[in-house]
Structure 1
Amino acid sequence: MAGVNSLLLRTVVFTGILIGGLNIVFAGVQYGFAALPVWFYLSQLLIIPAMFIPMRMFAQAAITPEFLRRAALYALGWAVPYAIYKFAGDALNPAFSPGFSLASYLVTVLLFAGIFAAIRKPK
């Protein structure tokens, strides 16, 4: 982790904890906290290091003038942390469908990418 500034590190850790915590709360409300398996709680810890990807990609996307390239950077930034969030939550559902979950994931990442690229274009 040499060369990582403290603000970036704090942002990554805080954002990862916030997203993982929200996923735990949402899943706990839906399925009951006692019913959540240990692997689910542990998988949320993976969001913390995964947040390094969007922090780097989003910074690059913010200065990229071409829409498609900017959208691709946003999509790549969302890909890993959202995959952890999405698939861990979906796997709790007894009617889990890997194909439907993957399709839903891809649509959401593309929507996020398009919206962010449209809203956050460089000046």
Structure 2
Amino acid sequence: MNSMLLRTALITGIVIGALNIVFAGLQYGFGTLPVWFYLAQLLLIPAMILPMRFFPQAAMTRDFARRAAMFGLGWAVPYAIYKFAGDVLNPNFNPAASLISYLVMVLVFAVLFATIRKPQN
């Protein structure tokens, strides 16, 4: 992985983790956030680094379904950490609803990125 891609993955993981802490802190109060929630945000760094290779490959793939699948795979793990860490804080946490919402959003990310990032002719 080249240094620019690695730097992008690191920055993206840090920004997503920081936003998740800010949003959860504003919703539930920073003092009430458990330590595991902060530690879970650290998982976003490797979660962005490992699938980062999917994004450049997906951007070069002509077939829409394969391109969408690659973008979906690239966003699946980082979004799972972001989504489930925040959802579990809710006292009315419903695992089935959280999973369905996660799957729908990964599908939306996949289709959106595949549409926006289609290869040039």
TM-score calculated relative to the size of structure 2: 0.95
For 1:1-123, list aligned pairs within 5 A.
Answer: 4-123=1-120
Letter of the 2:12 partner, please give it. Answer: T
TM-score calculated relative to the size of structure 1: 0.94
Q: Are 1:58 and 1:73, in contact at CA under 8 Å, matched by a contact in 2?
A: yes
Q: Are 1:54 and 1:74, in contact at CA under 8 Å, matched by a contact in 2?
A: no
CA distance in 2 between partners of 1:69 and 1:36 (Å)? 39
CA distance in 2 between partners of 1:10 and 1:116 (Å)? 20
Residue ranges of structure 1 left out of the alignment (5+ in a row): none
Deviation at 1:9, TM superposition (A): 2.3
Identical amino acids, percent of aligned pairs: 71
Q: Are 2:10 and 2:49, in contact at CA under 8 Å, matched by a contact in 1?
A: no
CA distance in 1 between partners of 2:24 and 2:11 (Å)? 20
- The count of corresponding residues between Structure 1 and Structure 2 is 120
CA distance in 1 between partners of 2:4 and 2:111 (Å)? 27
CA distance in 1 between partners of 2:74 and 2:81 (Å)? 13
Residue ranges of structure 2 left out of the alignment (5+ in a row): none
CA distance in 2 between partners of 1:8 and 1:122 (Å)? 19
